[in-house]
Amino acid sequence: MFENEVYERMINYQETMSKSHKKIANYLIENRETAPFLTASKLAKHVGVGEATVIRFAFFLNYKGYPDLQRHLQEAMQRKMTSAEVLVKTTDKDGSTSDVVTEILGDDIQNLKTTLNQLNTAHFEQAVQEIIDANRIYIIAYRSAASIGSFMEFYLDMVLQNTEMIRQGDGVSEHLLDIKENDLVIGFGFARYTKRTVEVLKYAKQRGAKTLIITDHYMSPLVPLGDLKLIAATEINSFIDSFSAPLSIVNALVTAVTRAEHVKVEKRLHDLEGLWDNFDVFEE
Amino acid sequence: MFENEVYERMINYQETMSKSHKKIANYLIENRETAPFLTASKLAKHVGVGEATVIRFAFFLNYKGYPDLQRHLQEAMQRKMTSAEVLVKTTDKDGSTSDVVTEILGDDIQNLKTTLNQLNTAHFEQAVQEIIDANRIYIIAYRSAASIGSFMEFYLDMVLQNTEMIRQGDGVSEHLLDIKENDLVIGFGFARYTKRTVEVLKYAKQRGAKTLIITDHYMSPLVPLGDLKLIAATEINSFIDSFSAPLSIVNALVTAVTRAEHVKVEKRLHDLEGLWDNFDVFEE
DNA sequence: ACTTTTATGAAGTATTTATTTCATTATATG
DNA sequence: CATATAATGAAATAAATACTTCATAAAAGT
């Protein structure tokens, strides 16, 4: 993908880089359109390191000096631009795409656009409020939808500590018996809707819980079972459905909840931070 | 006509220009991608005029000096590029995003576009081939990445029956011991990379397995551990990362594999269909 | 905990790049 | 064709930028 070797070098030498050098590499990679124009001292200021360190970085990558590194960055930029233009042209042609990636990612871009246009923002905002107000939250998502369900479970439970997903393996009933009036049940279901999802949601409504449905179509059998409905497009040219758009909606829900409850959430995240440190979970 | 006022100026002043000045203007207009990088003396040589004339040209256009003219040329170049790339940044009319959904889905559209532009299609195609050729496939994905990992497991195992995901809870070692030379290990890891992911991948490489990395950045600590790397943008304006783009890449991988192996896969799906019927899994 | 090694930025120096000067050449005008 | 005017590039000077040095701080090793 990189036509010029500069970025390859950065990637290859990554492991032997010092902290500051990594910062510089990072900045160069993330600002490929502007960074090649900067002088050494300006780059140093942008990155937050000394000018000398920038110069050393150029030598570190085996260039003759900063101007040499700069020249290579500039060349990469020039070539990148034309290849980007070529790509735009190939995708713009009436649907006939040469390779699978371009086709699928293109479809997903379309799905997100469609979802965004069709989305009922009132329902979305209500959904956020219900999530915040809920006593406990249960997520129903079977088969392939389980992945998106567990993603939502992971983050909602991280920030609210009152969320769990009801999994296929579970002796369903025991969890379901807990569902109460001021609980919220979030159901995911996409084409080839599983019977079990429908059944569980019916039961949840019977028990008086609020229901939020995330599905792929207004004609979905889940729609009548939801007090709130969020529709996300999932169509791609494949035997599977794409969950990019529903996942993006989950991102938006989680983000909206955390923004509304940011005081609580920040404390919670800070506490977790200490925990993670203790158990040495993350790199760097 | 031109995006930046620099070129307008040249055109407007064209008539009052001297011979040499016209030559310079001409060169700048015809080399908009390379000329902005040149120093005054180099530009002078390219055009075939004296260095002083180039400087005078900058003053002639009412710039403060050559660096000032150069800066404007560079800005024009950048703007051209981004406007070609961005196309569809869906924001509100006034630019400020009114609600979270629009903001997050807009970010994700951008992520998919970026991913598409930066993707190494050669690596993608190799990845598809490795998946097809692999004896067994192991997926490594911890914490939030687990959701996308299990999605991939679900479909790859459905069509190939040789895929499993190594889960956090598992007494890791027992599965890892099985990893052999012609196996493929697919590792997912995104910002706040977990140590365990890195360790497991190192181990997999040691055992001689092929490795495919799906991560968010070329500076990710996972990159050096992958024989093949696929990079997907995950940045949204939130404390979480978005997996829409990586998920879309997984969609593309699964789709490409099934298209390449469609004879086998169709039979398999047909068999499953019978199974599902028997157990009455789906609605309608 | 201590030593050694390595990395760092401030300050100084060298180099490159931009600008000005000035003698020369080209162009225009009567 | 002579003269005035404007434009030009080589060389000198000024400014900006790149690179080096060195004392100090952070990591790594023991």
Distances (CA, A) of B113 to A151, A237, B126, B152: 23, 18, 22, 22
Which residues pair with residue A132 across a beta bridge?
none
Q: CA-to-C1' distance for B11 and D6, Å?
A: 22
A71 touches strand D (CB under 7 A): no
Predicted confidence (pLDDT) at residue A173 exceeds the cutoff of 70: no
CA nearest to B229 within chain A: A1
pLDDT in tens, A84-123: 444 444 444 333 345 889 889 988 998 998 898 888 888 8
A41 touches strand D (CB under 7 A): yes
pLDDT band at B94 (very low <50, low <70, confident <90, very high): very low
Query: How confident is the model over A136-165, as a mean pLDDT?
Result: 93
User: Using N-to-C axis directions, what is the helix angle for A5-13 and A19-30, rounded to 10°?
Assistant: 150
How far is A219 from B212, CA to CA, in rounded Å? 39
Any CB–CB contact under 8 A between A99 and chain B?
yes
pLDDT band at A2 (very low <50, low <70, confident <90, very high): very low
Own/partner contacts of B97-103, CB < 8 Å, gap of 24 or more, are B99/A121, B99/A124, B99/A125, B100/A124, B100/A128, B100/A252, B100/A255, B100/A256, B100/A259, B101/A116, B101/A119, B101/A121, B101/A124, B101/A249, B101/A252, B101/A256, B102/A116, B102/A121, B103/A252, B103/B237
**CB pair distance less than 8 Å for A151 and B143:** no
How far is B100 from A128, CA to CA, in rounded Å? 10
Q: What pLDDT score was predicted for residue B95?
A: 36
Nearest to B84 among A26, A88, A255 (CB): A88
Residues from chain A contacting residue B123 (CB–CB below 8 Å) = 1
**CB pair distance less than 8 Å for B248 and A242:** yes
Q: Which of residues 48-67 of B touch strand D (CB under 7 A)?
A: 48-53, 56, 67
Residue A51 tokens, joined:
């000018």
B21 touches strand D (CB under 7 A): yes
Average pLDDT of chain A, as a whole number: 84
DSSP H or E segment with residue B46: helix B40-47
Number of residue pairs across A and B with CB atoms under 8 Å? Answer: 241
Query: How confident is the model over A158-174, as a mean pLDDT?
Result: 78
Any CB–CB contact under 8 A between B201 and chain A?
no
Are A176 and A203 a contacting pair, CB within 8 Å?
yes
- CA of A44: nearest nucleotide by C1' is C9
Q: How far B177 CA lies from chain A's nearest CA (Å)?
A: 23
pLDDT in tens, A233-253: 998 988 899 999 999 999 999
Nearest to B219 among A1, A25, A103 (CB): A25
Q: How far A76 CA lies from chain B's nearest CA (Å)?
A: 11
Any CB–CB contact under 8 A between A100 and chain B?
yes
**Residues with Cβ within 8 Å of residue A109, at least 6 apart in sequence:** B88, B109, B112, B113, B116
Distances (CA, A) of B226 to A5, A23, B189, B198, B245: 18, 22, 12, 10, 19
Q: Please report the sign of the dihedral spanned by the C-alpha atoms of residue B154, residue B155, residue B159, residue B164.
A: negative
Query: Residue A164 has what DSSP assignment?
Result: E
Any CB–CB contact under 8 A between B280 and chain A?
yes
Q: Which nucleotides of C are covered by protein (CB under 7 A)?
A: 6-11, 16-22, 27
Q: What pLDDT score was predicted for residue B88?
A: 33
Q: CA-to-C1' distance for B68 and C20, Å?
A: 18
Which of A158, A190, A247 is the mutation pick for testing B, counting most B CBs within 10 A?
A: A247
Query: Residue A226 has what DSSP assignment?
Result: -
- CA of B19: nearest nucleotide by C1' is D7
pLDDT in tens, B203-216: 898 899 999 999 99
Are A58 and A48 a contacting pair, CB within 8 Å?
no
How far is B232 from B244, CA to CA, in rounded Å? 9
Q: CA-to-C1' distance for B1 and C19, Å?
A: 33
A49 touches strand C (CB under 7 A): yes
Residues from chain A contacting residue B249 (CB–CB below 8 Å) = 101, 105
Are B219 and B236 a contacting pair, CB within 8 Å?
no
Global pTM reads: 0.72
Are A74 and B39 a contacting pair, CB within 8 Å?
no
Q: What pLDDT score was predicted for residue A97?
A: 45
Higher pLDDT, B184 or A23: B184
Q: What pLDDT score was predicted for residue A232?
A: 95
Q: What pLDDT score was predicted for residue B196?
A: 86
**CB pair distance less than 8 Å for B195 and A281:** yes
pLDDT band at A168 (very low <50, low <70, confident <90, very high): low
Query: How confident is the model over B246-267, as a mean pLDDT?
Result: 89
Q: What pLDDT score was predicted for residue A90?
A: 43
**CB pair distance less than 8 Å for B251 and A242:** yes
Q: What pLDDT score was predicted for residue B47?
A: 87
Greatest mean pLDDT among A165-179, A251-265, B152-166 lies in B152-166
Q: What number of other Cβ atoms are within 10 A of residue B166's Cβ? A: 23
Query: How confident is the model over B86-112, as a mean pLDDT?
Result: 63
Are A74 and A64 a contacting pair, CB within 8 Å?
no
Any CB–CB contact under 8 A between B260 and chain A?
no
Q: What pLDDT score was predicted for residue B281?
A: 64
How far is B4 from B85, CA to CA, in rounded Å? 17
A53 touches strand D (CB under 7 A): no
Upper half-sphere CA count for residue A2 (Cβ side, 13 Å): 19
Any CB–CB contact under 8 A between B19 and chain A?
no
